[in-house]
Amino acid sequence: MIQLIKYPNPILKQTAQPWNFANKVHAEQVQQEMLTLMRLHNGIGLSGNQVGILLRVFVMRTQDGREFGCFNPSIIAGQDTVVGNEGCLSFPDLWLDVNRCHKITAMYLDSNAQERIIELEGIDARCFQHELDHLNGICYTDSMSPLKLAMAKKKLFKKKRKV
């Protein structure tokens, strides 16, 4: 069974390799295990890096409740960049403001290797971009200046001490 990997594990900074549907790893099984783990941790997205799989796969749940896996995902187009608050299962309770496209058109393969094109906006677009960043070895903390990140971590530390 897969497990959630948390910062500072170095796998979070590694680039995932393309998913090969011809290999012995069964896409549907990996997708289901990742969705189960995502639900267990009350997340809306989870990337391969976050579970120790250095392959280009992530799962997500949209605001209308659809859950699916994205294999070898990419963004075709994006527009309307906005700042929004994000969290990450690998950085528990750390919420940061991140600049991302509000609307995207994306492409991915589903667990049956069928190409899908999807239009996402708001939190769904933000989630897709966040998980795609993970596959590229980029964490949402990388978008912060060291000073802003240190302040956010200090605020989190103080909050946890009060509990």
Residues annotated as catalytic (active site), given as ranges = 131
| End-to-end CA separation in angstroms for the chain | 32
User: Can you point out the beta strands (E) in 2-156?
Assistant: 45-47, 57-61, 67-88, 91-109, 115-121
130 close to 97: Cβ distance less than 8 angstroms: no
Angle, alpha carbons 155-157-163 (nearest 5°): 105
Q: Are strands 91-109 and 45-47 parallel, antiparallel or unpaired?
A: unpaired
